[in-house]
Chains A and B, each alone.
Chain A
Amino acid sequence: MSTATNLSSTDRWDEFMEGVWRQNPLFVMVLGLCPALAVTVSAVNALSMGLATTFVLTCSCLLVSLLRKMIPKEVRIATYIVIIATFVTVVDYVIQAVSLALYDALGAFIQLIVVNCIILGRAEAHASKNPPLPAMLNALGMSAGFTLGLFALGAVREILGAGTLFGISLFGPHFQPWVVMVLPPGGFFVLGLWLLVFAAIARRKQDKLAEAAGHA
């Protein structure tokens, strides 16, 4: 029997899957489009951006949740932003230390994680009202959903726009790259297609549920 203070494992799984699927930040809530469209020209960039956001989101939600009882409501937004900006700065240094090429590829979008609405939204709507463990699980789920979304965009754009995946050539030297896919308009095309796919899956699920209800 699960107690009130300890989450059962299904609750934990639900908390995590909330962001990955039901409330996927990119494909369901359509948030964080600025980095989603700008840096997803390759699978590596998309994954790195996803991991950077994961780190910032999880750490800030943990800290916000730990401090939630002592943050006065009047200055809560200022406090959240300071906390988020701190972890963005950390990620900025870490990426520079790992690879300058990656740092140049992601450009200003690393610093712009500060204003990613997913992160402030999670801090305000979830972490500030929940204990550290569920807050972190929720943040991890959201980040996983966001990373998955970025990767879905980045992989498709890299395959179509450059004929490679993770820099490995897929179609041989005679592939004529579909350049528009790695340009900004390509981001919108691919995002639109993925939204269609997600909407179709969601509708099919709903139809099935309705059918089951009709039979019963």
Chain B
Amino acid sequence: MSQATDALTVSTPTVGMIRTLGLVAALCGLIIVSAYQGTYDAVQENKRIAVERAVFKVIPVATSIVEYLAPGSGAPQKVGTGGTAPAGSIKFYAGYDKDGHLAGIAAEGAAKGYADTVRILFAWDPAQATITGFGVVSSRETPGIGDKIVVDKDFLANFPLAAPLSDDRMVLAHEIRTVKHGTKTQPWEIDAIAGATITSRAVGKAINEAAQALVPRLVPHLDALKEKS
């Protein structure tokens, strides 16, 4: 192969290299943009369906969902109405039943589990001031041990959890926490699964942190959320 040996001895001029790299980069850019544009609608639709499914699971009576952002102060704003919510707003989903009444609020929480961060979606019932349940958004917990949190009957029996606000309405009256298996004494405590304490704790911590931040922001504005608008 005389061509190959020539190519090895003669070095390429800089312009040639830049031209090739530029051309390849432009070509690749074109391919990526077309792929992005081509799949955009399907990806957004998939994400919407995934969120809806998760919310309907934690608020079983809900038939429709409205996505909101709760800013540090002021009323929650609907997502996608054009207004820009201030940084630090918390996203939550308001689930409405078939008559358009507020059935529950769902929000995401996350905490470090055994293998990786456990991300959950929990439901808060404004009428009863309780956490009614939760679902897992993503987790890499050990199959057969940590992933029992969504199927273990005794663990699920922890819900609903009492989550009233304190008198000054700044935080929850009681910190939601996970206690060792068999030592639950209060309605805001979570009885851990024996053998899966770390994952159980992650659930408690995720709910506590997210609820402490979100619930005080919601309570003053609940009337605005009561009916589907």
Chain A residues, Cβ within 8 Å of B142: 179, 183
Please tell me if the beta carbons of B12 and A73 are within 8 angstroms of each other in the complex.
yes
Contacting residue for B20 out of A70, A86, A104, CB 8 A: A70
* Shortest distance between the CB of B36 and any CB in chain A (Å): 6
Q: Which of B39-47, B56-64, B83-91, B168-176 contacts A (4 or more CB under 8 A)?
A: B39-47
Nearest-Cβ distance from residue B74 to partner chain A, whole angstroms:
33
Fill in one digit per residue for A161-200: 1 if any B CB lies within 8 Å of its CB, else 0. Answer: 1100000000000000101001100000000000000000
Residue among A90, A129, A179 with the highest chain B CB neighbour number at 10 A: A90
Q: Chain B interface secondary structure, helix, strand, loop or mixed?
A: helix
User: How many angstroms from the CA of A101 to the CA of B12 in the assembled complex?
Assistant: 47
- Among the stretches A1-9, A74-82, A148-156, A205-213, the one at the interface with B is A74-82
Min CB distance, B91 to chain A, in Å? 18
CA–CA, A75 to B18, complex, Å? 9
User: What is B's interface to A at a CB cutoff of 8 Å?
Assistant: 4, 7-8, 11-12, 16-17, 20-21, 23-25, 28, 31-32, 35-36, 38-39, 42-43, 46-47, 50, 138, 142-145
Q: Are B39 and A94 in contact (CB under 8 A)?
A: yes
Please name all residues of chain A whose beta carbon is closer than 8 Å to the beta carbon of B21 when the two chains form the complex.
75, 78-79, 82
In the complex, are the beta carbons of B16 and A86 less than 8 A apart? no
* Partner-B contacts on A (CB < 8 A): 67, 70-75, 78-79, 82-83, 85-87, 89-90, 93-94, 96-101, 104, 129, 161-162, 177, 179, 182-183
Given contacts A73-B12, A79-B24, contact A93 B17 (CB under 8 A): no
Question: What's the Cα separation between A132 and B106 when bound, in Å?
Answer: 53
Instruction: Tell me, in angstroms, the Cα distance from A79 to B25 when the chains sit together.
Output: 8
In the docked arrangement, what's the CA distance between A89 and B138, Å?
A: 22
Q: Give CA–CA (A104, B119) in the complex, Å.
A: 12
Shortest Cβ distance from residue A142 to the other chain B in the assembled complex, whole angstroms? 22
B7 touches A73 (CB 8 A): yes
B12, B23, B28, B35: the one within 8 Å of A93 (CB): B35
Contact residues of A: prevailing secondary structure: helix
- Contact residue among A82, A94, A98, A99 (Cβ-Cβ distance under 8 Å from B25): A82
Residue in A closest to B32 when the chains form the complex, CB atoms: A89
B39 touches A96 (CB 8 A): yes
Q: Which residues of A contact B39 (CB under 8 A)?
A: 93-94, 96-97
- Taking a contact as CB atoms under 8 Å apart, the answer to whether A75 and B17 are in contact is yes
Within the complex, the shortest CB–CB distance from A67 to chain B, in Å, comes to: 7
**Which chain B residues lie closer than 8 Å to A87 at the CB level?**
31
Given the complex of chains A and B, what is the CA–CA distance between A195 and B32 in angstroms?
38
Q: Which residue of A lies closest to B38 (CB)?
A: A93
- Known contacts A97-B39, A99-B46; decide if A179 and B143 are in contact (CB<8 Å): yes
In contact, A83 and B24 (Cβ under 8 angstroms): yes
Q: Which of B4, B8, B43 contacts A97 (CB 8 A)?
A: B43
**Distance A162 CA – B143 CA, assembled complex (angstroms):** 9
Q: Nearest chain-B residue to A67 (Cβ)?
A: B24
Contact A97 B46, beta carbon cutoff 8 Å: yes
Q: Do A82 and B28 touch across chains, with their CB atoms under 8 A apart?
A: yes
Residues of B contacting A78 in the complex (Cβ-Cβ under 8 angstroms): 21
Give Cα A70–Cα B36 distance, bound, in whole angstroms. Answer: 28
A-B contact pairs, 15 of them (CB 8 A): A67-B20, A71-B20, A72-B12, A72-B16, A73-B7, A79-B24, A82-B28, A86-B28, A87-B31, A90-B35, A93-B36, A96-B46, A97-B42, A177-B143, A183-B142
